[in-house]
């Protein structure tokens, strides 16, 4: 039969809705991104017939897109097979005709009876599945840690699956693993700014962020809330609710808007079931602008009641506890403006954020969240090189400690102090303790999960790191940086094929996400594929420009490949970037390793020790250091940094 262009199609235990793109198995929804869906749709349209690679190229990758077709098609086929539980060797659904194309071989039928599907449950990709490098040349990214993207310390990542069979085990912050109960998933979409004033954008963004935090604390075992980074991808989006639900693997969406009229502020909000696209609840609230915090609490309480009903639990068991914001309206407004500018992650934005947080603290010295925001800002200024690290990190630490003195239950402050302890003070025990505490306080706190996974990877606790990185990725499913973080964890564990697989998924989200290109270059180098490594690093430079995070791996790989003159040219450029407020001794050491200048590499690693270069935290796990590990000088460095155990 020829599959219809619209409506449901059934094959085996699966049912695909060609209109919405939803794939289900026994009623459970299996998350399927756009390219695998389009591939499946093309094959189902002609079951039993050969669909050539050229036909698929014309359908899935028009000429104007920037995608490596061969590798992109191989990746899409692999992901589709993973979703169906199929095998290339013994296919049940998709047969490969070498060098020609693919054929759908299972019987296909329209369902004879329409059955209401069970509510979807989020599903997770098996990250440990194997990968042929020939099948994966693309990849994703987040500001990859190590000598990759625009971050120099853990705090900069503050700036900012999906397959079948249920969740991987979720490790507790104590590092023990436990299996979660089935959870409903909710996304808070960015509240629309309808004030007509771009300067009021912070109102909608602030409402979005605060509701994510409050709703994420309702009942983490029963309700997961998508992280801000993924939610912000849908700002001003015209996508339908069912499509957003499919992309984020959520059953519920909360969307709303903010308006102001004179001294009045009006918030509209509605809760939507993504499966039926029905409105479960809608309401408007209007108060004096000084009562924004009260409005926010009322909205959160109303949502809480609806979520409690949907979860089938007693209202007394679930409540939204408003975060302890200042009761001084002006201080709260400065806090919201500070977070808005901080999220821009630019020198100007960080300076403005610092000013607003200081103003909030001046108005209310007991405002713990403002102290925490100030801690994040100082450490970001230091890690990005906008402020000398020996000034930025102590100031950030003092602000984080003050926040915890005011409110020990503030997850953000614990996360900030953990990152500072990790980046600058190399107090690994304190970092572990505060990361774990942040996650205990906020199991849906995606940033802490991501940071902790990177810390664990640097400590060579790879299985724990993978659990937390996967958990962070699931809460931020369309964020390239969350996928890239997963790749970094695999890379440090020497699981290069798995790293390339995660990077392929990242680049499917954003082919021009430069940090993923950097990370993919590092993976290819580690696999002994220098030409491919150079190709990816050159693409990264075209996207991102000449920067230390691009220059370092590029010069390193060129040096290893014997292209010494080119490597030295990039080393000179890297040295020009290295300034007192932004030293790069470890980066320079890595380039000398690539050039084979071992003694010079150790000289620069010693300088990294003296400068407290955060990348000294990579000594145990960075593959670039593998050639030095037998040298007694390297063991001494590891001992000095406190990583010997």
In DSSP notation, 20-50 reads TTEEEETTEEE---HHHHHHHHHHHHSTTSE
Write the pLDDT tens digit of every residue in 359-415.
Answer: 999 999 999 999 999 999 998 888 877 888 889 999 999 999 999 999 999 999 999
Q: Give the pLDDT band (50/70/90) at residue 148.
A: very low
Mean local confidence (pLDDT), 143-172: 32
Domain 122-149+461-645, what architecture? Alpha Horseshoe (1.25)
Residue 289 has pLDDT above 80, yes or no: no
Q: Please report, for residues 11, 25, 31, 93, 598, the alpha-carbon distance to residue 84 in angstroms, rounded to integers and kept in the order given.
A: 10, 9, 11, 8, 50
Instruction: Name 184's bridge partners.
Output: 223
Alpha-carbon gap, residue 121 to 182, rounded angstroms: 7
Q: Residue 330: what pLDDT? A: 86
User: What is the DSSP secondary structure assignment for residue 5, as one 8-state letter?
Assistant: S
Residue 277 has pLDDT above 60, yes or no: yes
Is the dihedral angle over the CA atoms 421, 426, 427, 433 positive or is it negative?
positive
Write the pLDDT tens digit of every residue in 305-325.
Answer: 776 676 554 444 444 444 577
Among 413, 420, 407, smallest CA distance to 381 is for 420
Per-residue DSSP letters for 257-289?
EEEEETTEEEEEEEEEETTTTEEEEEEEEEEEG
Alpha-carbon gap, residue 559 to 136, rounded angstroms: 25
Q: Residue 135: what pLDDT? A: 35
Q: Residue 295: what pLDDT? A: 75
- How many Å from the N-terminal Cα to the C-terminal Cα in the chain? 64
Residue 161 has pLDDT above 60, yes or no: no
Residue 119 has pLDDT above 60, yes or no: no
Q: Residue 298: what pLDDT? A: 74
Per-residue DSSP letters for 319-343?
--------SSHHHHHHHHHHHHHHT
3-class secondary structure, 430:
helix
Taking the mean position of all CA atoms in its chain, how far away is CA 601? 33
Beta-carbon contacts of residue 592 (< 8 Å; ≥ 6 apart) = 571, 598, 600, 601, 604
- Per residue, what are the HEC states of 113-179? CCCCCCCCCCCCCCCCCCCCHHHCCCCCCCCCCCCCCCCCCHHHHHCCCCCCCCCCCEECCCCCEEC
Alpha-carbon gap, residue 476 to 470, rounded angstroms: 10
Can you give the residue ranges of every domain in the chain?
Answer: 8-118, 122-149+461-645, 163-324
Is the dihedral angle over the CA atoms 504, 506, 510, 514 positive or is it negative?
negative
Model confidence pTM above 0.85: no
Alpha-carbon gap, residue 487 to 453, rounded angstroms: 11
Write the pLDDT tens digit of every residue in 563-589.
Answer: 999 999 999 998 888 766 666 899 999
Q: Give the pLDDT band (50/70/90) at residue 643.
A: very high
Alpha-carbon gap, residue 247 to 227, rounded angstroms: 14
- 163-324 CATH, one of 3.30.70.1560, 3.55.40.20, 3.40.50.10070, 3.90.1150.10: 3.40.50.10070
3-state helix, strand, coil in the chain (%, to 5): 55, 10, 35
Q: Please report, for residues 133, 248, 350, 481, 552, the alpha-carbon distance to residue 503 in angstroms, rounded to integers and kept in the order given.
A: 12, 18, 29, 10, 20
Percent with pLDDT over 90 in the chain: 38
Phi, psi dihedral angles at 520 (to 5 degrees): -65, -35
Q: Kindly compute the dihedral angle of the four CA atoms of residues 614, 620, 622, 623, in this order, to the nearest 10 degrees.
A: 160
Q: Residue 125: what pLDDT? A: 32
Among 494, 529, 524, smallest CA distance to 625 is for 494
Q: Kindly compute the dihedral angle of the four CA atoms of residues 189, 190, 192, 196, in this order, to the nearest 10 degrees.
A: -170
Domain 8-118: state its class: mainly alpha
Among 620, 645, 615, smallest CA distance to 422 is for 615
Write the pLDDT tens digit of every residue in 517-530.
Answer: 999 999 999 999 99
Residue 56 has pLDDT above 90, yes or no: no
């Amino acid at each position: 039969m020829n599959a219809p262009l619209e409506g449901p199609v059934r094959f085996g235990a699966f049912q695909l809705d060609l209109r919405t793109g939803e794939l289900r198995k026994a009623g459970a929804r299996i998350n399927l991104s756009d390219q695998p869906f389009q591939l499946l749709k093309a094959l189902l349209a002609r079951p039993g017939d050969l669909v050539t690679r050229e036909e698929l190229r014309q359908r899935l990758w028009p000429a104007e897109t920037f995608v490596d077709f061969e590798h992109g098609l191989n990746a899409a086929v692999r992901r589709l097979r993973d979703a169906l539980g199929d095998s290339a060797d013994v296919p049940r659904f998709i047969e490969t005709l070498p060098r020609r194309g693919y054929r759908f071989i299972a019987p296909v039928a329209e369902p004879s009876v329409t059955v209401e599907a069970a509510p979807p449950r989020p599903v997770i990709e098996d990250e440990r599945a194997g990968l042929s490098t020939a099948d994966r040349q693309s990849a994703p990214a987040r500001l990859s840690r190590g000598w990759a993207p625009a971050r120099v310390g853990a705090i900069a990542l503050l700036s900012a699956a999906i397959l079948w069979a249920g969740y991987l085990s979720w490790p507790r912050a104590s590092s023990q693993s436990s299996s979660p109960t089935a959870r409903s998933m909710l996304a808070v979409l960015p509240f629309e700014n309808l004030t007509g004033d771009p300067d009021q954008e912070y109102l909608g963004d602030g409402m979005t962020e605060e509701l994510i935090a409050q709703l994420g604390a309702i009942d983490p075992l029963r309700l997961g809330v998508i992280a801000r980074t993924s939610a912000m991808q849908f700002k001003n989006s015209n996508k339908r609710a069912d499509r957003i639900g499919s992309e984020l693997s959520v059953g519920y969406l909360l969307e709303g808007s903010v308006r102001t009229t004179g001294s009045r502020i009006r918030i509209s909000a509605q809760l939507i079931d993504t499966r039926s696209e029905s409105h479960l609840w809608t309401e408007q609230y209007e108060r004096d602008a000084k009562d924004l915090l009260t409005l926010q609490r009322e909205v959160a309480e109303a949502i809480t009641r609806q979520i409690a009903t949907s979860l089938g639990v007693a209202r007394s068991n679930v409540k939204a506890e408003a975060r302890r914001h200042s009761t001084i309206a002006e201080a709260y407004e400065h806090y919201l403006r500070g977070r808005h500018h901080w999220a821009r992650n630019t020198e100007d934005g960080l300076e403005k954020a610092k000013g607003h947080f200081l103003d909030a603290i001046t108005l209310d010295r007991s405002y713990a969240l403002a102290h925490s925001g100030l801690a994040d800002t100082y450490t970001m200024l230091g890690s990005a090189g906008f402020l000398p690290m020996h000034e930025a990190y102590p100031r950030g630490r003092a602000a984080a400690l003050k926040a915890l003195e005011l409110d020990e239950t503030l997850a953000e402050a614990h996360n900030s102090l953990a990152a500072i302890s990790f980046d600058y003070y190399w107090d690994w025990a304190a970092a572990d303790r505060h990361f774990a505490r942040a996650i205990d306080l906020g199991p849906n706190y995606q940033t802490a999960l991501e940071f902790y996974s990177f810390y664990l990877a640097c400590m060579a606790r790879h299985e724990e790191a993978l659990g937390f990185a996967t958990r962070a990725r699931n809460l931020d499913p369309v964020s390239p940086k969350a996928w890239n973080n997963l790749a970094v964890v695999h890379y440090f564990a020497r699981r290069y094929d798995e790293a390339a697989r995660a990077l392929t998924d990242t680049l499917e989200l954003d082919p021009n996400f430069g940090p993923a290109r950097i990370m993919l270059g590092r993976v290819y180098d580690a696999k002994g594929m220098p030409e491919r490594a150079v190709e990816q690093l050159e693409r990264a430079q075209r996207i991102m420009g000449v920067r230390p995070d691009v220059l370092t791996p590029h010069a390193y790989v060129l040096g290893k490949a014997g292209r010494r003159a080119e490597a030295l040219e990039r080393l000179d450029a890297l040295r020009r970037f290295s300034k007192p407020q932004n030293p790069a001794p470890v980066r320079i050491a890595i380039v000398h390793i690539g050039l084979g200048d071992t003694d010079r590499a150790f000289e620069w690693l010693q300088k990294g020790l003296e400068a407290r270069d955060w990348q000294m935290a990579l000594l145990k796990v960075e593959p670039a250091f593998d050639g030095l590990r037998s040298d007694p000088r390297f063991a001494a460095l590891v001992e000095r940094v406190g990583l010997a155990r």
